[in-house]
Structure 1
């Protein structure tokens, strides 16, 4: 079986560099997943963006939200979390950019589903998400 596919959700305006670091490091980690870089590459009408992103999320096994310090303003991230839930795709978050347990979270992401950025933590969360997906 191939590695599970992860859709990365992040605040495009504030955490694009964290997304590049995360995706790049994931290729060299022992974490059993592949990152699908399906971010919208150009500006488009809202309805078109929503249809495109929802279809991409539905092709993945999980959504990993990169939780930065400015999540309260990341409305696209909240929409991606809602799309994942609508498609029964498990979601968890990873703190980036100095964010921590006191940082704002995007709507729809419970604090208990956000972890610190270590590849052991991420591997454990992925194993848990894949177990949840099988049980649905």
Structure 2
């Protein structure tokens, strides 16, 4: 698949700026993929949010979690990770907002699948995701 689709999961209350930068840079970088921003653009009632997001995640090839310093309070991110796992959508994380290997990760995101914000490493992770889960 030439253009994999990625759902960008992030802490809506704390990391909107990093999400916008990540999506924008992905479109302007020299990486061998394009990322579509299928995340929710606004806060929604819980039942509407869950139905909308589950459907969007299911249409994607991977879930990319932008993991910031406040992830312990981001319950929506943990739900998105669960939705992805339930649909065999591969997941990896990218540290943002000063987060690093000592920062809290959202429930369900493995530390060994969370990387620094480096486009060469992100491109390698996208390639890896295209051979996992529902992309096999």
Other-structure match for 2:48? 48
Q: Once the 2 structures are TM-superposed, how far is the Cα of residue 2 of structure 1 from its aligned partner?
A: 3.2
Q: Once the 2 structures are TM-superposed, how far is the Cα of residue 73 of structure 1 from its aligned partner?
A: 0.2
Other-structure match for 2:21? 21
Unaligned runs of 5+ in 2: none
Post-superposition CA distance 1:8-44 (Å, at most 9, x none): 0000111000001000000111223322222323332
RMSD: 1.2
Post-superposition CA distance 1:57-115 (Å, at most 9, x none): 01110010000000000000000000000110000000001000000000000100000
Name the TM-score, length of structure 1 as normaliser: 0.94
Other-structure match for 1:113? 113
In 1, distance between residues paired with 2:3 and 2:114? 22
Q: Once the 2 structures are TM-superposed, how far is the Cα of residue 127 of structure 1 from its aligned partner?
A: 0.8
Paired residues of 1:4 and 1:32 also in contact (CA < 8 A): no
In 1, distance between residues paired with 2:25 and 2:75? 26
Q: Once the 2 structures are TM-superposed, how far is the Cα of residue 132 of structure 1 from its aligned partner?
A: 1.2
Name the TM-score, length of structure 2 as normaliser: 0.94
In 1, distance between residues paired with 2:42 and 2:93? 25
Structure 1 segment 60-79 matched on structure 2, within 5 A = 60-79=60-79
Paired residues of 2:95 and 2:114 also in contact (CA < 8 A): yes
3-state SS of 1:41 partner: coil
3-state SS of 1:64 partner: strand
- Where in structure 1 do 4 or more consecutive aligned residues deviate above 3 Å? none
In 1, distance between residues paired with 2:9 and 2:82? 12
Other-structure match for 2:131? 131
Paired residues of 1:6 and 1:33 also in contact (CA < 8 A): no
